[in-house]
A and B are shown apart, each in its own frame.
Chain A
């Protein structure tokens, strides 16, 4: 399959998570890429208009989290990506979970801000994503998470 035929969904919350996704953009645009974020207005600032909007949520907000999970599943069913990746946080994790239901290959890249320990969703991704990567070498154990470099 040609690279431009590989459907990729890249999801990140607004702020630092999104900034890291944007630093990965030069690689992502080689594929049939679709973005999802909690702040579509910021995506528009980067010239990305075809963006899926996710409601923001975190582990302390069960109702918002449930709604976000439903929206994530809807986005994944709509686009049927071959690959789903997220740089965080919870909304991106829900996209990965949804991807497990549709057979997508899934990748969690833990935020470079987590230099002391993996984020909560990062820890969950060790179990639920195909790959879980940290951006700090000393946090990697060679399997889960693995280290392949950093956005910086």
Chain B
């Protein structure tokens, strides 16, 4: 199963519509949390909101999360050890107040379990990559390793 989410605050019809078009070819159920969007999906189960506990249960069952580039979802994916594909919202299309999601994906791209589609045309290829990912959960990103090392040093009052 693939779970699609755009967060609760804003709609993101460009992602929902593109995922709806791709859904029949994916060979597995697709469930979408559509937020305040207006597009009505036909090929996937769509819900405006999903409560946190249920969302977490769905994430646990999923093989891939497809999401706007919201850090909250990236953190949930990391904790549940699920691959996540991010498509950033764009300010010039009225999808957010600024392009911070674009900045986020540039920095997150390539970290273990994180994939990026800069726009809807890249979704199909990145979904295939995400579903094919194997054994990446054992890999801690270099930045995470650095932070854990520094945290231990601080707690033990060693030089940073």
| A residues apposed to B, CB below 8 Å | 3, 6, 8, 15-16, 19-20, 22-24, 26-28, 30-31, 83, 85, 105, 107, 109, 111-113, 115-116, 131, 133, 135-136, 146, 148-152
Contacts and interface: CB of A to CB of B under 8 A. Distances in A.
A111 B72 CA distance: 10
Nearest to A17: B75
A27 B148 contact: yes
B145 A115 contact: no
A148 B146 contact: yes
Given A105-B154, A148-B150, A149-B146, A22 B79 contact: yes
Contacts, number: 92
A115 B100 contact: yes
Q: Which of B142, B143, B151 counts the most A-chain CB atoms under 10 A from its CB?
A: B151
A43 B26 CA distance: 36
A5 B85 CA distance: 42
Nearest to B140: A26
A24 B151 contact: yes
Interface of B: 71-72, 74-76, 78-79, 98, 100, 103-104, 107-108, 111, 114, 141-152, 154-157, 160
Contacts of A3: 156
Contacts of B148: 24, 26-27, 149
B72 A23 contact: no
Nearest to A42: B52
B151 A27 contact: yes
A28 B147 CA distance: 12
Nearest to A3: B156
Given A19-B76, A115-B104, A149 B143 contact: yes
Contacts of A135: 143, 147
Contact of B155 (A6, A22, A111, A133): A6
A59 B100 CA distance: 24
Contacts of B75: 16, 19-20, 23, 112, 151-152
A136 B108 CA distance: 11
A92 to B, nearest CB: 15
Contacts of B143: 135, 149-150, 152
A93 B143 CA distance: 24
